[in-house]
Amino acid sequence: MLQNSIVIGVDLDGVCADFYGRMRQIAAEWFERPVDELPEAVSWGLSEWGITNQSQYDSLHRFAVTQRELFSSMEVIPGARKYLRLLSDEGFRIRIITHRLFIHYFHAAAVQQTVNWLDSNGIPYWDLCFMKEKSQVGADIYIEDSPPNVEQLRSKGLFTICFGNSTNRHIEAPRASSWPDVYDMVRVFVA
């Protein structure tokens, strides 16, 4: 059965791309610490790695994006390619939604890194939205890992699957712990 009209809004960082895995390597460089000293399980804001305020977070993030090509150097999260392709083949419309244009005058590089990453990792999509306000892109189902985004989308009555990681353990169901989970939950939602 083809699901022609159903749009799945898919976040990139922490959902398709292993943001925290790559950031951990870059943070080890940034702080000049052995990577093994940085815990893999972090909370929102990265306090476990020694980030204590927003401006430190922003500095590390800016360094990662502009000096270490964060957006083109992350590993793909296992299953993202396979299950997005499956959903796409079944007729769902994959709409990538990401808030990556947060550094002024760096937009060309941010977009280039992003589309290169999407193509070279074989992620299928029809629409690519660089948006902070994710609810405004009008998807039917959202897949998102950031606690504030999940809460904001759900507060507007939008069906949002929380893609589980260490930053969002406190977020309520519906939650997916993997891409096979996401696939099953989407199928149940449309049934």
The one segment of 2-10, 73-81, 107-115, 137-145 that binds Mg ion by CB under 5 A: 137-145
Structure tokens at 162: 């929380």
| Identified catalytic residue from 13, 18, 140, 145 | 13
Cα distances (Å, whole numbers) of residue 11 to 15, 67, 98, 103: 6, 23, 6, 18
**Least distance (Å) from Mg ion to the CB of residue 108?**
22
- Comparison of 82 and 99: residue with beta carbon closer to Mg ion: 99
The one segment of 13-21, 23-31, 108-116, 134-142 that binds Mg ion by CB under 5 A: 13-21
- Catalytic: 11? yes
Q: What are phi and psi of 96, to 5 degrees?
A: -75, 130
Quickly list DSSP for 75-93: PBPTTHHHHHHHHHHTTPE
- Comparison of 167 and 186: residue with beta carbon closer to Mg ion: 167
Write out the binding residues for Mg ion, residues 139-178 only, by CB under 5 A: 145-146
Ramachandran area for residue 105 (φ above 0: left; ψ -120 to 50: alpha; else beta): left
Query: Cis omega before residue 148 (within 30°)?
Result: no
Binding-site member from 7, 8, 14, 27 for Mg ion (CB under 5 A): 14
How, if at all, do strands 141-144 and 175-176 pair?
unpaired
- Catalytic: 13? yes
Binding of Mg ion by 18 (CB under 5 A): no
Q: Among all residues, which ones are annotated catalytic?
A: 11, 13
Q: Which residues bind Mg ion (CB under 5 A)?
A: 11, 13-14, 145-146
